[in-house]
Amino acid sequence: MATAFSVGAVLVAADGTVLSTGYSRELDPADHAEEIALAKIGLPAASAETPRLTGATMYSSLEPCASRASRPTPCADLIIASGVSRVVIAWCEPPIFVPGGGTVRLSQAGLTVVVLPELADAAKLANAHLLPG
């Protein structure tokens, strides 16, 4: 069985209220953290923008995917469709499984993207078994 990244996501409303959380493989081996956080508030893959997500922030320990083999819609596209306006990540996707590019896609769609490299080492700890030497 292939091992996947351990990723966590938290969806926070503009007023600071935590709307939902998600983590990789939470409900299914192919689940991504951001996908689950959005699904928990009732957003399917083809959701229209949701008013309560206007001004919301998605926090994730890893860059949302821009391409995906296990599902038809990458997490970056799910976030864009949701109406979330800001994404904060600790670590950009390494090219171990799929190429990165989520932050570029989010930025091109007009979302604010914040990368906190000072948190990258902590995010990598949960995934050290997958990273090269």
Cα atoms in the 13 Å half-sphere on the side-chain side of 64: 35
Two tokens, residue 19: 């709307």
C-alpha gyration radius of the chain: 14
91 closest CA partner among 131, 66, 61: 61
95 closest CA partner among 65, 60, 126: 65
Catalytic site residue from 26, 34, 35, 118: 34
37 closest CA partner among 71, 72, 84: 84
Per the annotation, the verdict on 26 as an active-site residue is no
Q: Is 51 exposed, middle or buried (0-12, 13-18, 19+ CB in 10 A)?
A: exposed
Q: Which residues are catalytic?
A: 34
